[in-house]
Amino acid sequence: MPTFSATDGTRLAYHLRGAGEPLAVLPGGPMRASEYLGELGGLAAHRRLALLDLRGTGDSAVPADPAGYRCDRMVDDVEAWRAHLGLERMDLLAHSAGGCLATLYAARHPERVRRLVLVTANPSALGMRATAEDRLAAARLRSGEPWFAEAFPAFESWLTGGGDFDEVFLPFFYGRWDDAARAHTEPEERQVNEEAAERYFDEGAFTPDATRAALAALTAPVLVYAGEWDGGPRPELARRTAEAFPDATLTVQPGAAHYPWLDDPERFVREIVAFLDGDRDADADPGAARPAPVSGSPGRTPS
């Protein structure tokens, strides 16, 4: 397990899987160990995945100052990691809340990003958020599922502040509630640093107007990848996210929720590889839904 030192001396770890050109990967949670990403549905067969454990998670050390858990303060960690990897420019993929960190990194270091993939990404860094109404609207799309009648009231109560988190509504985060999804949820509690997660979105972490303005300098192509059934973000919010970047493409994976590499691994890998290789048409099957280009526009809910 390789490690490197952040600028404040915190020892950070990352994990290497697969072979090929490197792909730097930032986990979500927020502040969940990168272990949950696995091999991203088989993406490691095409790329050498470098999966970062953010400070205080997984095999990375706890920082001396917990204020360093705030999202914007970890941009320096990502830059130190890039330099450690020896990459002049890097392909970067981020999932969920990791999308906030990747967006801030791209705004601060646009010249260091070759291609950027945002998978079911939280858009808080852009001043947007998935609302309770968004999440409930997405949940209602699953009304035909056998677990819906029990799960929906608990989900609604949690989102509106009337109830606690309940494992009964975990199926809403997966396109298929099967053995693979159940196994994926089991280690989550030990993978997440709760203190760090609470600080990730602390006041001052985001300055959306400045971030949007800085992103105008980003020349790298961006893929915003959403799930049809995901509530955070829903496809419409993902479309608005894509509009914040000068050169962005939106792809919505049918039948997928928050972890699309589990819902349809083959489709997920095909789409991501095609984007990273710069050819969106090469390996797509004729029946595949085509990604929609989204023109850029100048210029906070955890997930």
In tens, the pLDDT along 220-266 reads 999 999 999 999 999 999 999 999 999 999 999 999 999 999 999 99
Confidence class for position 297, pLDDT limits 50, 70, 90: very low
- Please tell me the distance from the alpha carbon of residue 23 to that of residue 50, in angstroms, as a whole number: 6
Measuring CA to CA, how many Å separate 271 from each of 19, 31, 123, 234, 291?
18, 26, 21, 19, 9
- Please tell me the distance from the alpha carbon of residue 82 to that of residue 4, in angstroms, as a whole number: 10
* Mean pLDDT over the full length of the chain: 93
Query: Three-state SS for 295?
Result: strand
- Please, are residues 205 and 67 in contact by the beta-carbon 8 Å criterion? no
Helices and strands in the chain, H and E counts: 11, 9
- Please, are residues 69 and 63 in contact by the beta-carbon 8 Å criterion? yes
Residue 249 forms beta bridges with which residues? Answer: 223, 293
Report residue 12: phi and psi, to 5°: -115, 145
CB atoms inside a 10 Å sphere around CB 116: 27
Kindly state the percentage of the chain with pLDDT values over 90. 91
Place of tokens 């945002």: 118
pTM above 0.85, yes or no: yes
- Please, are residues 68 and 55 in contact by the beta-carbon 8 Å criterion? yes
For residue 146, say if its preceding peptide bond is cis, omega within 30 degrees of 0: no
Q: Which residues contact 248 (CB under 8 A, 6 or more apart)?
A: 221, 222, 223, 224, 242, 293, 294, 296
Output Rg (C-alpha) for the chain, integer angstroms: 18
The secondary structure element, H or E, covering residue 117 is strand 113-119
Residue 189: pLDDT above 60? Answer: yes
Q: What angle do CA 177, 94, 226 make, to 5 degrees?
A: 50
Place of tokens 């050390």: 61
- Please tell me the distance from the alpha carbon of residue 245 to that of residue 106, in angstroms, as a whole number: 10
Mean pLDDT is lowest, of 73-82, 113-122, 287-296, for 287-296
